[in-house]
Structure 1
Amino acid sequence: MTDRRNIYFFYKKEEHTLEKINTLIEAAKNSDFIVVNDYKKANIIVSIGGDGAFLQAARKTNFRSDCLYVGIGVDDTLSLYCDFHLDDIEKMIEAINESQIEVRRYPVLEVKIDDSTTFKCLNECSIRSGIIKTFVIDVFIDNLHFETFRGDGMLISTPTGSTGYTKSVNGAVVDPMLPCLQVSELASLNNNLYRTLGSSFILSDKRKLKLKVVQDGNDYPVIGMDNEALSIRHVQELEFGLSEQPIKTVKLKDNSFWEKVQRTFL
């Protein structure tokens, strides 16, 4: 990080953390970092506030592939994106100065809606029925009609997102060093008319996934991108693939993804 000195801090101005954040900003300045107020001028983006803040920071700064993202937690909640804690400012500076950190590249999910608007996700994209009624989705893999789903919805996640919503619906926890996406069902209805695989499945980054919403009156699904809902009223088709530009994050050398998984779930 010695050649990256322009730093942007992403955080909520909350009274109980503001004093510590100001101390962190001053420590960054004293360590020869240049604090900027425009994320477009930064080559390091620091989120403060846990995994939710990290997801928002990536989204609000357009998932930049030309800078480093750093996550800093503020409480005792276990985090998969934050290797640092706001109470350990000296440890952060020491880790940077003594090269105790390394860069990890995390896959980013790219979602195109109705062949027009494209969005990105770091964790997952969910599509769910917006009314109390199941809806029908035709599932295509590389233009092959794979199955017809009927149920509450579907969930498409990245490897890092596999420890979140996807895990709660019995999906697999996937190593983020594998560039892939995972497809999971939300309360599928299986009978003589509708038959699905019935389990999560994983697609290579070379594959393309397409979901076509069958227009049967339930045409206004709720679409979630990470921890944010989209305000798109009418949706017919969604295409999924991995972006060619992953985001780069900073992690401590002695804090791997699987060590975080072990601490969080075991």
Structure 2
Amino acid sequence: MQNRNHIFFYYHPRQEGEKTNYLKSLAEQNGLHVVPDSKNASIIVSLGGDGTFLQAVRKTGFRQDCIYTGITDDEQIGLYCDFSITRFEEMIDAVKNNKIEVRRFPTIKGSINDEKTFYCLNEVSLRSSIIKTIVVDVRIDGEHFETFRGDGMVVSTPTGSTGYSKSARGAVIDPLLSGFQVSEVASLNNNSYRTLGSSFILSHHRKLQLKVVQDGNDYPIISLDNEAWPVQRIHKVDIEMDDTVIKTVKMTNNTFWNRVQRTFL
């Protein structure tokens, strides 16, 4: 990793002001060099919530040669954000004195219509864009598994299992397990369509394909993490995992399950 002390701040333009200036000044005072281009940074810091963190990772290209960290602009600590703006100095001290651990979050990789390739840290969801169910043939490792009819399907990473997937009655998965979860959204089960009716987890070695059945509802929407992709006609989505991970810093006393407990219990 080059320029180990180069730091880039990602935030919404409307946040430009006293808070961001304070963070940049504090970083400079502690021997870090603030850079205007994320490509030149070894540390990328998002300022906002978990949604901003996801955007920071996506907008900077899922970089494998840098460390990401999230800072909330209030006192709420998120599932991806270990620090609040009032604890930024604590984060710098932890980095300088090796009081942190580096954790690696797995991602899922996919392609749309064999053309557009993408990565997701949280989830990819395929949903109907009109008031009509969508029909999807689900294939695992090239073999037909089921034909789904309903509002949509969600494929999540272990860390993403606490988001949309959990709302769709998926399980919360330990990020130390390398695999991805498939969850149904309002499936229709009758004599014509029959699905498993529950979420299922696939090994990172598996390959999943969601093939849209062209029955008149030919314009579903696809969202990657918290961003919709402008693909007008989706025929199929192929999903798998590779070795791409997002490296983040965490305090030694703040595990994934600490954050799950703090958020939900």
TM-score (norm 2): 0.96
Does residue 85 (structure 1) correspond to residue 84 (structure 2)? The answer is yes
Give the deviation of 1:131 after TM superposition: 1.1
Match of 2:225 in 1: 226
Match of 2:207 in 1: 208
CA distance in 1, matches of 2:93, 2:118: 37
Contact 1:21 1:86 in 2 (8 A): no
Aligned partner letter, 2:17:
L
Match of 2:120 in 1: 121
Q: Which structure 2 segments of 5+ residues have no match?
A: none
Aligned partner letter, 1:217:
G
CA distance in 2, matches of 1:41, 1:71: 18
For the residue of structure 1 that corresponds to 2:56, the secondary structure is helix
Name the % identity: 58
Does residue 260 (structure 1) correspond to residue 259 (structure 2)? The answer is yes
Give the deviation of 1:201 after TM superposition: 0.2
For the residue of structure 2 that corresponds to 1:14, the secondary structure is helix
Match of 1:180 in 2: 179
Aligned partner letter, 2:58:
R
Does residue 132 (structure 1) correspond to residue 142 (structure 2)? The answer is no
Task: Provide Cα deviations, 1:37-66, integer angstroms capped at 9, x if missing partner.
Answer: 111111111101010110000010011111
CA distance in 2, matches of 1:105, 1:154: 26
For the aligned residues, what is the CA RMSD?
1.5
CA distance in 2, matches of 1:84, 1:74: 9
Aligned partner letter, 1:28:
A
Give the deviation of 1:94 after TM superposition: 1.8
Task: Provide Cα deviations, 1:187-210, integer angstroms capped at 9, x if missing partner.
Answer: 000011111000000001000000
TM-score (norm 1): 0.96
Worse-matched range after superposition: 83-92 or 58-67 = 83-92
Q: 1:63-78 counterparts in 2 under 5 A?
A: 63-78=62-77
Does residue 45 (structure 1) correspond to residue 44 (structure 2)? The answer is yes
Q: Which structure 1 segments of 5+ residues have no match?
A: none
Match of 2:146 in 1: 147
4+ runs of 1 displaced by more than 6 Å?
none
Give the deviation of 1:126 after TM superposition: 0.6
Aligned partner letter, 1:206:
H
CA distance in 1, matches of 2:209, 2:13: 40
Give the deviation of 1:91 after TM superposition: 1.3
Match of 1:7 in 2: 7
CA distance in 1, matches of 2:166, 2:206: 22
Match of 2:248 in 1: 249
For the residue of structure 1 that corresponds to 2:196, the secondary structure is coil
Match of 1:239 in 2: 238
Give the deviation of 1:238 after TM superposition: 0.4
Does residue 20 (structure 1) correspond to residue 19 (structure 2)? The answer is yes
In structure 2, relative to structure 1, the CA distance for the partners of 1:3 and 1:41 (3 Å cut) is: closer
For the residue of structure 1 that corresponds to 2:139, the secondary structure is strand
Aligned partner letter, 2:43:
I
Aligned partner letter, 1:58:
V
Task: Provide Cα deviations, 1:87-138, integer angstroms capped at 9, x if missing partner.
Answer: 1232122212221111011011111000111011110011001111111100
Contact 1:20 1:87 in 2 (8 A): no
CA distance in 2, matches of 1:58, 1:265: 24
